[in-house]
Structure 1
Amino acid sequence: MKAQTILARYAQGERDFRKVNLRGQSFQGRNLSGADFSDADLRGANFKNAMLRGTKFRQAKAGLQRSWSIVILLVSSIALILSAIA
């Protein structure tokens, strides 16, 4: 689900966003106080400077998206190999 859809529903008074897929969406600086994101997939979502007072994240999946994890692993492996050679 797109961030704009969540924000529009939130503005209309909806607070139940359980089990939604919000991978990579940005809520930077937005007010989502009192929302329920329990069991949601929030990997890669941006909540920087968001107002989250009373917001629930029970058993939500968070962290990096799998593709970013693979990129970071490859870059660090290359850096390790290059440092061993030098």
Structure 2
Amino acid sequence: MVVTTTADIQQEKTGGKTVTVTVDGEPVDVPKRTTPNTILALAGIDAGTHYLVRITGRHQHSFAGRGEEEINVHERETFVSVSTGPTPTA
């Protein structure tokens, strides 16, 4: 039985071209043409409880509610994940 993951499908679409981006400070290899949810999955983050934000200088571009939108990513881009769950109080 062959299991096909979202990442496998994305790599097939892009001919295997990947770039290294940073998600929450950790390097992650992702397809150049991908989705925010795929980036989260490759970073080991649950897309059901998080969304992705692209950081460009002082600007933040949120992909909240658009996790399946196809995007182009570039080498050394920076992303952070944001939890959609409740914020704990001290």
What TM-score results when the alignment is normalised by the length of structure 2? 0.28
- Structure with more contact order per residue of length (Cα contacts < 8 Å, sep ≥ 6): 2
TM value normalised by structure 1:
0.29
